[in-house]
Amino acid sequence: MSYNHFSVICVVIPAYRVSNEILDVITSLGNEVTHIIVIDDGCPEKSGDVVVKNTKDSRVEVLFHNENLGMGAAMKTGYKRALERGADIIVKVDGDGQMDGQSISKLIEPIKSGHAGYSKANRFYDVESLRVMPKLRIIGNLVLSFFAKLSTGYWQIFDPNNGFTAIDSKSLSDLKLERLDSGYFFQSDILFRLGLAGVDVIDVNIPARYGAETSSLKIFKVFFEFPVKLTQHFIKRITYSYFLRDFNLASLQFVLGGFLLSFGLGLGAVNWVSGLLVNKPTPLGTLMLVAISILSGIQLLLAFFSFDMNKKP
């Protein structure tokens, strides 16, 4: 695929409480960027006005939300505008200065070379850079990354909530933007939608930069909201991929494995409680049935996930 095909590069910057950093972010963007779209998402610091009053960069366009709708909503507005302006590749850059604008060329390289439709930064490649990452973020990303793999089917990617991303216009056009989450779950949600659409996704080694900026992301909200939504995505993905669009040996492994494991655990729990109540040991045959059911169920589910991990979305 020719590099010249991707000549219009658009950067979308959601802006909320980033009035102190947003101008430096814009200044860091190189000449490879054709358009810069800033979305003031009802920012109480008037980040959009700061950009309008203080930048003379002709590439910059500022859009305003009358109220705070969420990071995902800001990105959907930016994505729509980028497509209207004929962008070939749309890059998301947060306005807090944690992303190196000089790394955009590296980020979009897999798309320009035809190896991916969506690329994202991964902060975990460089172990040294993790020294400056807050420990709570490291733990949270490890947990969320595993569940994101389950829910999206992209077992080869990591750091799913990294907001430094790039997507080609075709892949973006294939998505139904109105269905994407309007909050911080947007990053995980778009990976789920891309997986259903069969878009190739690639991680790119780009460390993050941490300064004195304050994140608007509420950690405790993430740990209550994200697991529920990721579980819903996992159920939908398995249903779509293995029962509606296809039905194969892995589908049978999942059904039989889930049934045997549930049966074994249920039977074991019932007999354990019953034994405690009547003070009577469980028959050996029942114990064997419980053990065989559990082990067989685990083995079948492991076989299913082995197949799933080797099958790209």
Q: Which residues contact 84 (CB under 8 A, 6 or more apart)?
A: none
pLDDT at residue 132 above 90? no
State the Cα–Cα distance between residues 282 and 203, nearest whole angstrom. 52
- pTM, full prediction: 0.88
All structural domains of the chain with their residue ranges: 3-217, 247-309
The model's confidence at residue 4, banded by pLDDT at 50, 70 and 90, is: low
What three-state secondary structure class fits 172?
Answer: helix
- Does domain 3-217 fall under CATH 3.90.550.10? My reply is yes
State the Cα–Cα distance between residues 190 and 180, nearest whole angstrom. 7
pLDDT in tens, 9-27: 999 999 999 999 999 999 9
pLDDT in tens, 41-65: 999 999 999 999 999 999 999 999 9
Longest CA–CA separation in the chain, Å: 83
Under 8 Å between Cβ of 124 and 141: yes
Q: What is the CA radius of gyration of the chain?
A: 23
Q: Tell me which residue of 58, 55, 13, 53 sits closest to 34, measured CA to CA.
A: 58
* CA quadruple 50, 56, 58, 59: dihedral, nearest 10: -50
CB burial string 148-169: b at 16+ within 10 A, e below: bbbbbbbbebbbbbbbbbbbbb
pLDDT in tens, 250-309: 999 999 999 999 999 999 999 998 888 888 888 899 999 999 999 999 999 999 999 999
Name the burial class of residue 32, with classes exposed (0-12), middle (13-18) and buried (19+) by CB atoms within 10 angstroms of its CB.
Answer: middle
Q: Tell me which residue of 297, 290, 256, 258 sits closest to 274, measured CA to CA.
A: 290
pLDDT in tens, 182-220: 999 999 999 999 999 999 999 999 987 765 555 555 566
Under 8 Å between Cβ of 142 and 153: no
